[in-house]
């Protein structure tokens, strides 16, 4: 039965019978010789039990696909080139399919006109800091164990986040530390956690009873390991938070925003970026400068813009140039808890579970 269906499909694809009508009987009878060759071509590798033969067939199929793809690409390029030479408009470029394009529809994506969102923002824990009523004051500490790169990382974080102080951990409980910080009017506590002598996780606790976000830290690169790094100044940095789309992402974005002062000093030209891509938050710290670049465009489009004098008009473009300074790392949200740090009795807003990873197109931030 399967074979018959396949030959039907094959004929349907190529319109093999040559006739446009859909009578099945005709199709089956139409090409007696063809289905045999079709069957040979359409054998699925998964039906072959012999591993060597199966892998050979699979390799051949892949090679064929690769060749077809390359051919298509060449044709497309040739067509575009021809169109440009002739002076016509080339065919519009097709949009490639990316994971971001095909992301699963998430109903918690923030919409720009959401009243509930604004109301929530007004009465959430960060509103007082974000409305500039309180200035952010950060307490930085580590976990109980030593680590090789920990101290260097802490010193760099102290430079990145203005108005932050480092306290040695000792053997204090986190809950006691939170109490102490509340007493001394800090606005957040940041704990750098170490595993196997490497900084491994970041715990950001908002105060007085703000949410606790637990991030997994990876790919830490310190300033001295970056080529051509710059040295940061002490001006207040600008924040760039991109791609935090869902409600959860928005909340995390606001949490990160509450660590930094809300009056950036634009003359300092320092920018701190938290870029969310597929639930990974990439942290970068740059110094930037705007340059104007003269580019003489030589496309055929320019021909219209030429004067009768025949000069080419130089176009001035502005570009931004970045120099990286400061550490570079990526964060991934593991859990977001509603109150301050309390693993036993706390109420979790979001916890990452392995079963959430089953779909490659589903992201939560």
- Name the minimum Å distance from CB 5 to other proteins: 36
Which chain residues interact with other proteins by CB under 8 A? 98-100, 143-144, 173-175, 216, 218-219, 240, 242-243, 266-267, 271, 273, 275, 277-280, 282, 284, 286, 288, 290, 292, 301, 304-305, 307-309, 315-316, 318-322, 330, 332, 354, 357
Q: In angstroms, give the least distance from the CB of 263 to other proteins.
A: 13
Nearer to other proteins, 166 or 280 (CB): 280
First to last CA, the chain: 47
What is the distance between the alpha carbons of residues 238 and 216, in angstroms, rounded to a whole number? 24
Residue with structure tokens 């809950």?
A: 175
User: Which of 298, 307 has the CB closer to other proteins?
Assistant: 307
Look at residues 223, 210, 200, 222 and name the one whose alpha carbon lies nearest to residue 136.
210
Rounded Cα distance, 320 and 337, in Å: 38
- If the CB atoms of residues 40 and 290 are measured against other proteins, the closer one turns out to be 290
In the complex, the smallest distance separating the C-beta of residue 137 from other proteins, rounded to whole angstroms, is: 25
- Whole-number minimum distance, CB 266 to other proteins, in Å? 5
CB of 107 to other proteins, least distance (A): 23
Tell me how far, at minimum, the Cβ of 221 lies from other proteins, in Å. Answer: 12
Cβ–Cβ under 8 Å, residues 245 and 218: no
Contacts 24+ apart (CB under 8 A), 312-318: 316/292, 317/292, 317/293, 318/290, 318/291, 318/292, 318/293
Cβ-in-10-Å burial (0-12, 13-18, 19+) of 139 comes to: buried
CB closer to other proteins out of 45 and 339? 339
The whole-angstrom separation of Cα 29 and Cα 8 is: 11
Using the minimum distance from each CB to other proteins, give the nearer residue, 154 or 281.
Answer: 281
Nearer Cβ to other proteins (10/256): 256
């Amino acid at each position: 039965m399967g074979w018959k269906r396949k030959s039907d499909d094959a004929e349907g694809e190529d319109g093999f019978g040559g006739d446009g009508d859909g009578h099945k009987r005709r199709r089956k009878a139409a090409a007696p010789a063809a289905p045999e060759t079709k069957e040979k071509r359409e054998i699925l590798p998964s039906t072959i039990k012999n591993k060597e033969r199966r892998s050979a067939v699979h390799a051949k199929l892949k090679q064929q696909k690769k060749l077809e793809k390359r051919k298509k690409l060449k044709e497309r390029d040739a067509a575009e080139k021809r169109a440009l030479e002739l002076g016509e408009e080339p065919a519009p470029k097709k949009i490639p399919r990316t994971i971001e394009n095909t992301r699963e529809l998430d109903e918690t994506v923030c919409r720009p006109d959401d009243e509930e969102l604004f109301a929530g923002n007004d009465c959430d824990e960060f509103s007082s800091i974000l409305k500039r009523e309180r200035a952010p004051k950060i307490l930085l500490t580590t976990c109980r164990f030593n680590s090789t790169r920990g101290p260097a990382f802490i010193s760099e974080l102290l430079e990145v986040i203005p108005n932050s102080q480092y306290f040695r951990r000792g053997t204090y409980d986190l809950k006691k530390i939170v109490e102490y910080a509340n007493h001394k009017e800090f606005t957040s506590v940041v704990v750098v956690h170490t595993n196997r002598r490497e900084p491994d996780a970041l715990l950001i606790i908002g105060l007085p009873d703000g949410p606790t976000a637990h991030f997994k830290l990876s790919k830490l690169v310190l300033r001295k390991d970056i080529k051509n790094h710059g040295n940061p100044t002490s001006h207040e940095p600008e924040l760039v938070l991109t791609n935090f789309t869902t409600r959860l992402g928005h909340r995390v974005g606001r949490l990160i925003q509450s660590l930094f002062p809300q009056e950036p000093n634009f003359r300092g030209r320092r920018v701190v970026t938290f870029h969310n891509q597929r639930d990974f938050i990439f942290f970068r710290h740059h110094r930037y400068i705007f340059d104007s670049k003269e580019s003489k465009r030589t496309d055929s489009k320019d021909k219209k813009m030429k004067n009768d004098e025949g000069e080419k008009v130089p176009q001035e473009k502005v570009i931004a140039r970045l120099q990286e300074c400061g550490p570079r790392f990526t964060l991934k949200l593991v859990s977001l808890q509603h109150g301050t740090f309390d693993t036993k009795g706390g109420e979790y807003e979001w916890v990452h579970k392995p079963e959430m990873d089953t779909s490659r197109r589903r992201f939560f931030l």
